[in-house]
Amino acid sequence: MDDVRSTAELLARARRVVVFTGAGMSAESGVPTFRDDLTGLWARFDAEQLATPEAFHADPDLVWGWYEWRRARVRRAVPNPGHLAVAAIEARIPHTVVITQNVDDLHERAGSREPVHLHGSLFAPRCIGAAPHPASVGEPADDDGGRIPPPRCAECGALVRPGVVWFGEALPGDALSAAVDAAARCDVLLTVGTSGVVYPAAEIPRVAARAGAAVVQVNPEPTPLDAVCAVNLRGTAAQTLPALVSAAWDGSRQTSGTPVSAPE
C-alpha cells in the first residue's frame, strides 16, 4: 500500500501524464493476444501464417476471415475497471496521453480520448491501393470463423485489409512520433500490462525515464522495465488502477501539494 500511496501522490500532483498499455490491460476483459487467439478452426495455424502482408496477398480470404473472427470477439468484450480508471485519470488531468499497443477499441469505449494506437486497430481497416487510405466496412462477421472474402474499397476498388501492424511492417510514423513526444514531455508515465520486450514500442517508457519522468509499472510479474521504473506495482490493471485513482482523488488529497513540473 505504501507504493500505491506514493504513486497516487505523484499522480495527483502531475501536470502531464502518459498511460502506456499492453496486452495485460485487456486480458481481464477476456481479450486474448493474437497468438492465443488461434483456437478452434484456427488452431492449425501459427501467427506468422496469418499476420503478415505476404499471407494476406497469398490468401486474402483466409486472413480476412481470421481478423473478422477476432474483431467480432473483441466487439463482444467490455472495458474492465482498469480501462475506466485510465479514463478517470484523463478526466482529472487534461494533459494525459494514452498510448496503447492493443488493437482493440476498449480504451475508446471506456471514455478515453483518441488513444495513440502504436500497432493499429481492428476497427480501422484500410485499402491496399497505391495511396492507402481508411476504408469503411460493416459490422464484423459474428460466426465460428472461416474464409471470408475481404471487401473492396468504395473509393478505388482495391482490397481492404485489417488496419493492424503485421510482422515485417513499420509502426505508423505519426503514432510513433506522437508517442515519443508525449513520453519525452510527461512527468509521470504509467506502463500497464506490457512485457517491455516488443520494440520499438518498449522504448517509450525508457524515453520518459531518460527525460526525468517518474515511470511507474503496473504488472503482476517482473519485466525488463523494472530497472527503469521508480515504482513497480505488482498487480493487474483492473485491480491496481482503480485503487490508484481512488488513493489519488479520494477527497482528502485533491491534488494537494506543489505540482510536478513537466519537461518542456
Domain ranges of the chain: 2-30+79-119+171-248, 40-76+122-164
Q: What is the arithmetic mean of pLDDT over 222-243?
A: 95
The pLDDT value recorded for residue 26 is 94
Q: Binding site: residue ranges?
A: 67, 70, 101-104, 127, 153, 193-195, 219-221, 237
Residues 6+ apart with CB under 8 A from 249: 12, 92, 255
* Torsion angle in degrees (nearest 10) through CA of 115, 120, 125, 130: 120
For the chain, give the mean pLDDT.
88
Q: What is the arithmetic mean of pLDDT over 76-84?
A: 97
Residue 146 CA: distances (Å) to CA of 92, 99, 104: 44, 32, 21
Identify the bridge partners of residue 116 per DSSP, sorted by sequence position. Answer: 99
Strand ranges in 149-225 using DSSP code E only, listed in sequence order: 160-164, 188-192, 214-218
Which cell numbers hold the place of 76? 463482444
Q: Lowest-pLDDT range, 8-22, 202-216, 237-251?
A: 237-251
Q: Binding site for substrate: residue ranges?
A: 67, 70
Q: Return the number of other C-beta atoms located less than 10 Å from residue 78's C-beta.
A: 11
The pLDDT value recorded for residue 261 is 33
Alpha-helical (H) ranges within the chain are 2-13, 23-27, 47-50, 53-58, 60-76, 81-92, 106-110, 173-185, 203-210, 237-248
| 253 touches 246 (CB < 8 A) | no
CATH class of 40-76+122-164: alpha beta
- Catalytic hit among 83, 107, 117, 119: 119
Q: Binding site for NAD(+): residue ranges?
A: 101-104, 193-195, 219-221, 237
The pLDDT tens digits of the residues spanning 125-183 come to: 999 987 778 888 877 665 666 889 999 988 888 999 999 999 999 999 999 999 999 99
Give the pLDDT band of residue 259 (cuts 50, 70, 90): very low
Q: Binding site for Zn(2+): residue ranges?
A: 127, 153
Alpha-helical (H) ranges within 105-250 are 106-110, 173-185, 203-210, 237-248
Q: What is the arithmetic mean of pLDDT over 249-259?
A: 47
Q: What is the arithmetic mean of pLDDT over 3-12?
A: 93
Known catalytic residue: 119?
yes
Q: What is the arithmetic mean of pLDDT over 221-225?
A: 94
CATH architecture of the region 2-30+79-119+171-248: 3-Layer(aba) Sandwich (3.40)
Residue 228 CA: distances (Å) to CA of 90, 176, 210, 220, 260: 24, 20, 9, 17, 19
| 92 touches 17 (CB < 8 A) | no
The pLDDT value recorded for residue 231 is 95
pTM, whole model, 2 decimals?
0.89
| 11 touches 89 (CB < 8 A) | yes
The pLDDT value recorded for residue 134 is 83
Q: Which of 170, 168, 182 minimizes the C-alpha distance to 100?
A: 182
